[in-house]
Structure formats: structure tokens, C-alpha cells
A and B are shown apart, each in its own frame.
Chain A
Amino acid sequence: MKRPVRRQHQCPACGYPGLAEEPRPASGGGSFEICPCCGYQPGVDDDDRGVTPSEHRRRWIVAGSPWFSRATPAPPRWSPQGQVEKAFGKGGK
């Protein structure tokens, strides 16, 4: 029997495609799911700290694009630059 495929979602800050929840669900507010890649937390970084996804992305890139999570490992052959470009285009704007 096939296991149901759970839809994954993209981080609005770094483009990581493996989030379990929609960052900004239709019910309003943020998902509160912390991106294991860049640490962006919808509902906290934006709604409380006033940091937009693009601003977080800029800061994350300036900091060297470190993998955030201690519990969730980065995918094999993970490329932060490739991920950002795939999600947001060249320059990651």
C-alpha cells in the first residue's frame, strides 16, 4: 500500500523546499514552523520582529548561509546558493 505523499512547502526566506506546513496558511498568521535551513520562523520573525523574508535572506547570506538546525541535517550535496537561485532567481532578490 502506498503511503500518502505529504505536500512540502518552500521557505519564503531561503527557498528551502522541505517545510511541512504552509508558512502563511489561509487561516491567517504564521505557521510557526522554524526553517531548518535558515531559521526563519513565520509568525515570529515577520509578525513580532518585523523582519521580512527577503531581509532575513539578505542577513543569512551575509552571515555565510549557515545551516540552522542541529536536529535536521542538511540534504546531501546541499548548495545554499543553488537553492536561493532556484527559488528566487539569480541574486536571490
Chain B
Amino acid sequence: MNVFASTGRLTIDSVREIGRVANFAFRGGFSWFLGPFYWRAVWSALARIGYASLPVVGLTAIFTGGALALNIYEGSLLPNTEAFLPQILGVSIVRELGPVLAALMVAGRCSSAMAAEIGTMRVTEQIDALSTLSVDPFKYLIAPRILATTIALPLLVLVADIIGVYGGYLVSVYALGFSPEIYVNNLIDFISMEDVTSGLIKATVFGFLISVMGCYYGYTSRGGAGGVGAATRTAVVAAAVSVLASNYFMTSLLVDV
């Protein structure tokens, strides 16, 4: 096959897909501002996405914080490691690792679940049934999930930040024998409010992207169990890639180079 033709087709298809996702995201976001609101659906989505993700996000954060402390200690050639370990660790977690790792865990856990659930509803005609029952599927299924994830992710990241820093503390104090006071003081002195908010801004965007991917691929899935499987897989990959890519661009905007 002609290389130019296939490259062109691939480009056009990709641009089309991005356009469709953007259109979907716009519709999903816009639905927040037009009634009716299904608060029950928002509430249950918050419980499923936010509250139920706490254990996995907490575990990820505590082990990452601990491993990071060991790595900083191991790689350090400077004399006063005890003082700057919490600084490096804190900034790394709050600005970068907390938001990204929490978002990746939520992407794996929730975008797949959304795609599978909405996809199954699509192929079993439950979405059509919603429409015939005078309920707009966008307002009932999509908007609550997007809203809930966009609210939940920054909160999860805040928890991940705290637990991650605590993981570093445990390793520093109990494994490396550093002083607890020095750890806490250096951490508090060094980390600024801006570090925390930049992580939370990222998390808000990640939450939006993850839920849009999960909902979009579920909503557009076709053709039975195979279609739902494919939708789930694509949703997780798209969510993870969009988190990592948008992370780079947001970081380059938030960091003054």
C-alpha cells in the first residue's frame, strides 16, 4: 500500500478521533450547567471513584515515598543528606509523583470501570432505554462521572501527597536513623503553597481527562463483549497517555524555565 496514502489516512483518522473526543468532552462538561442534575448519580460516582480509590492511592504513595527516600539517600554525595532529603522528596512528591501516580492508579481503576459499565449499557440497549424514558444519557451517565472524577482526583492527590511524604518520613527515621525534627522542619520550610497548588491544578485536569476517556470509549463501544473489551483497553491506554502527555505540557507551563 502507498506509504503516503496510509500516513495521510492515519493522520486524518487521528485528527477525527481527537475532534470527536473533544466534542464529547465539551458536551459532557457543558451538561453540568444545564439541568436537570442527578445528584444521586454524582454522589455514587464520588463514592466509587474517590472514596474507593483511597486504599490503592494510599499504598502507591507510601511505597513510592519510602523508595524515593532510599534512592535520594543512596544517590547523595553531599554531607548534609539529612536536611535536603525531605526537601527533594517533598517537592518530587507534591509537584510530580503524587499527581501523576495517583492519576495513573485512578486511570487504571476507574477509566476501565467506566468504559466497561457504560459500554455494557450501550451494547445491551440500556442507553437507548434511558433516552426512551425521558432521561438524557449525557446528563445521567456522563456528566456525573466527569464531575465526580474532576472533584475527587485533587482530593486523592492531597491524600497521596501527605501519605507519600509520610512514607519518606518512616524510611528516613526508622531505616536511615535520621532525626524526625529535622525531617519535618526542612519539609515545612522548603515546600511552598505554590508547589502544592500546582500539583492540585494538574490533578483537576487529569481527573477530567481520565473520566472523559473512560466515558467516551464506553459510550461509543459497539458489538457485544468483544467491543466492550476493546473499549476498556483503549480507555485505559488513552487515559494514561493523556495524563502523561498533559503532565509534561502543564509542567512546562507551571515551571518558569
Q: Do A and B make up one complex?
A: no
